[in-house]
Amino acid sequence: MYRWLNSGKVVGAPDIYWGPGEPLGAVEHCMAIGHAFSTSNCWFDISCQQQLNFICETPAR
């Protein structure tokens, strides 16, 4: 189960967003969006030790 960091709410992740065979979940407890698979912009779980760019949510101006 994945949770949004800021709210703690469970990420409602339909299977269509995950890459093939994902999430593995055993030791990878963080999530990324990328082109790691033949499908574009899919989600995959990764080690939380990896340092990647991130997306921030801010109020609209």
Domain ranges for the chain, please list them. Answer: 15-46
Condensed to tens digits (0 to 9), the pLDDT of residues 5-61 reads: 778 888 776 667 888 888 876 778 888 887 655 666 788 888 888 888 877 777 777
pLDDT for res 37: 54
Token digits of residue 7: 């709210």
Give the position of tokens 């101006």: 61
Q: Of 49, 42, 55, 52, whose CA–CA distance to 13 is shortest?
A: 42
Distance CA 56, CA 40 (A): 21
**Residues 2/7/17/15 CA torsion (nearest 10 deg):** 50
